Structure 1
Amino acid sequence: MSRFLSNEAAALAPYTPGEQPQDQQYIKLNTNESPFPPSPKVIKAISRAELLKLNLYSDPTCSALHAAIADYYGLKPENVLAGNGSDEVLAFAFRAFCGGGRGVAYADITYGFYKAQAALFGLSAKMIPLREDFTLNVDDYMDFPGTIFIANPNAPTGMSVPRADIQRLLEANPNRVVVVDEAYVDFGGESCVPMIFRYDNLLVIQTMSKSRQLAGGRLGFALGHPDLIADLNRVKYSFNPYNVNRLSMAAGAAAMADTAYFDACCAAVRQTRAWTVGELENLGFTVLPSSANFIFAKSQRIPGGELYRRLKENGILVRWFDADRIRDYVRITIGSMEQMEALVDQIGQLLEAL
């Protein structure tokens, strides 16, 4: 740190992304990326004509992209706001709907960026423990008066909350915003998007990084009542009006239009996930029920940290969190069937050598 860093910045505990080592070729099962390339329509959309326009600013209103997203979900463009990844959209929501005496609540075991962003904005935050079985029970949030953030399906557990429970939470207090982070919903969760027209205190945030193969394109979006979207735009235009570049806009609109490719990729991930769960359970692992493109698993025979390190030594990356309650688990992204076969084979060899 330099001597110029402010005390507030020095006190931050930044989010730690999944490692991206460059020292060798790894089977990467640690950052929940898609094992598939972008849609062929996305490749076609990044045309020479678009490349030649990179000397010009992108459309700050993201009109074509918003229209494509709205069309897919049966919404209107005024129900949509796109951002530079869902992390930016989440930051807009933290800034727009928290502060000034209004605190924020989220689970104790969930996406680590919530804690980092709450600290960045100096917010009063309440972490509400998941139940012993790692389920999120909305009854634990009913009396909280501030803004609520729920990852559904949750990360890193992969477990989901029924839409009916989110509905109860929305109705219990119409004067607070409930933000539902649906980064992984396309792999088996129950989306809250159909409730947007009924509840003006619901904001749904999704990403194109996972199910639409655009992690490197950095595209996320919020869906909600036009008034909530206007609030987010107020923050956006106070921070970075040109937040989505023109190539990502073109890619995102094309990805939203290719529903056949989207459906096929999601189905393949679900099928591979089921196979992987079965194989790991045959090896004695406990695997939490997952609605995401990853699984959360532990073995009684090898600690989570040791399994992570041994797999890395053998060219396979998974994610391990050195944190209370989940230290015995590893989070494993669902890759291609070939990658998962290699993982299961390597784990089997490690266990045999114990």
Structure 2
Amino acid sequence: MSRFISKEAVRLKPYTPGEQPADMQYIKLNTNESPFPPAPGVVKAVSRAEIMKLNLYSDPACAQLVEAVAKRNGLRPEQVMTGNGSDEVLSFAFRAFCGEEKGAAFPDVTYGFYKVWAAYYGIEAKIIPLKDDFTIDVNDYMDFPGAIFLANPNALTGVELPVEQIRRLLDADRDRVVIVDEAYVDFGGESCVPLLNRYDNLLVVQTFSKSRDLAGARLGFAMGCPELIADLNRMKFSFNPYNINRLSILAGAASMADEAYFQKCTAAIQENRARTVAELERLGFSVLPSKANFIFAKSPDFPGGELYRRLKQNGILVRWFDEPRIRDYYRITIGSAEQMERLLEEIRRFLGEV
């Protein structure tokens, strides 16, 4: 750090992304990326003619992308806001709906960026422990007057909170916003999007990074009533009006339009997840029920990061969090059938089954 950094900045604890090492070729099962390329129409959309327009600013309204998202979800364009990844959208939500009078509440074991944003904006955070089985009890949130942030399925465990429980939170206090982060909902979860026209205190955030195979394009979006979307756009135009580049707008719109490819890729992930879970359980692992493109698992044979270290030595990356409650768990991204078989082969070898 320089001698010029502020005291407030020094106090921040930045988010730690998944490893992206370059020392060797790895099978990356640590950052929840898709193993599949973007939809065929994406390549066509990002044409040479469009690349030659990079000397011009992108559309600050992102109209083409907004319209594609709205059409696919049965919404009006004024109910959609797009951002530079869902991270930016969620950051804007922290800034828009929290402040001196209203804090933020979220679980203790969830997406790590929530704590970072609360600290970044000086927002008082109420961190509520998950139950022993890593599920959320909405009764713990009923009396909280500020904004509630829930990753559903949970960004770390993959466990889903039933939509009916989220409806209870929405009905309990119509004067607070419930932000549902649905980054992983497309892998078997139930979305809150059908509730949007009934609840003006619901904001649903999704991403193109997982089920749309566009992690490198940095695209996310929020869906809600027009007033909530206007609040987010107020944050955007106070920060960076040109937050999405020209090529990503085109790529996102093309991806959103290809429903058949989307269904094919998400179905493949669910099939690979089921096979992987069955084999890990046969090998003695305990695996939480996941509706995401990853699983959260532990084994008495590999405590405290041992599996992470041994797999890395053999060219496979998984995610390990050296934190209380989850120190013996591993978050494993579901990749292609070939990638998952390679993972299982290594684990069998570690256990002496090969």
Q: If the TM-score is normalised by the length of the shorter chain, which range does it land in?
A: over 0.9
Aligned counterparts of 2:150 and 2:294: Cα–Cα separation in 1: 18
For 2:85, the equivalent position in structure 1 comes to: 85
Aligned counterparts of 1:21 and 1:136: Cα–Cα separation in 2: 34
For 1:230, the equivalent position in structure 2 comes to: 230
Amino acid at match of 2:111: Y
Does residue 127 in structure 1 map to residue 117 in structure 2? no
Amino acid at match of 1:119: A
Aligned counterparts of 2:4 and 2:213: Cα–Cα separation in 1: 40
Amino acid at match of 1:259: E
- Residue 304 of structure 1: how far off its partner (Å): 4.0
- Residue 333 of structure 1: how far off its partner (Å): 0.1
For 2:275, the equivalent position in structure 1 comes to: 275
Indicate conservation of the 8 Å contact 1:152/1:180, yes or no. yes
Aligned counterparts of 1:48 and 1:315: Cα–Cα separation in 2: 36
Indicate conservation of the 8 Å contact 1:308/1:330, yes or no. yes
For 2:179, the equivalent position in structure 1 comes to: 179
Alignment of 1:134-173 (within 5 A): 134-173=134-173
Aligned counterparts of 1:142 and 1:103: Cα–Cα separation in 2: 14
Aligned counterparts of 1:45 and 1:12: Cα–Cα separation in 2: 40
SS of 1:270's equivalent in the other structure is helix
Indicate conservation of the 8 Å contact 1:82/1:219, yes or no. yes
For 1:249, the equivalent position in structure 2 comes to: 249
Amino acid at match of 1:9: A
Indicate conservation of the 8 Å contact 1:186/1:266, yes or no. yes
- Residue 100 of structure 1: how far off its partner (Å): 2.3
For 2:8, the equivalent position in structure 1 comes to: 8
SS of 1:126's equivalent in the other structure is strand
Would you identify which runs of 4 or more consecutive aligned residues in structure 1 move more than 2 Å? none
Alignment of 1:1-354 (within 5 A): 1-352=1-352
Amino acid at match of 2:300: Q
- Residue 142 of structure 1: how far off its partner (Å): 0.4
Aligned counterparts of 1:294 and 1:124: Cα–Cα separation in 2: 30
Amino acid at match of 1:323: E
Aligned residues: 353
Aligned counterparts of 2:155 and 2:244: Cα–Cα separation in 1: 25
Q: Deviations over 1:123-179 (max 9, x none)?
A: 000000000000011111001110000000002100001111100100000000000
SS of 1:238's equivalent in the other structure is coil
Aligned counterparts of 1:54 and 1:201: Cα–Cα separation in 2: 38
Aligned counterparts of 1:99 and 1:243: Cα–Cα separation in 2: 23
Amino acid at match of 2:121: F
Q: Deviations over 1:60-95 (max 9, x none)?
A: 000110000000000000000000000000000000
Aligned counterparts of 1:77 and 1:317: Cα–Cα separation in 2: 40
Gaps of 5+ in 1: none
SS of 2:82's equivalent in the other structure is strand
Gaps of 5+ in 2: none
Amino acid at match of 2:155: A
SS of 2:117's equivalent in the other structure is helix
Aligned counterparts of 1:320 and 1:146: Cα–Cα separation in 2: 31
Aligned counterparts of 2:241 and 2:123: Cα–Cα separation in 1: 24
Aligned counterparts of 1:69 and 1:312: Cα–Cα separation in 2: 38
Amino acid at match of 1:340: M
CA RMSD of the aligned region, Å?
0.7
- Aligned sequence identity (%): 70
* TM-score computed with the length of structure 2 as normaliser: 0.99
CA shift in 2, pair 1:104/1:173, >3 Å: same
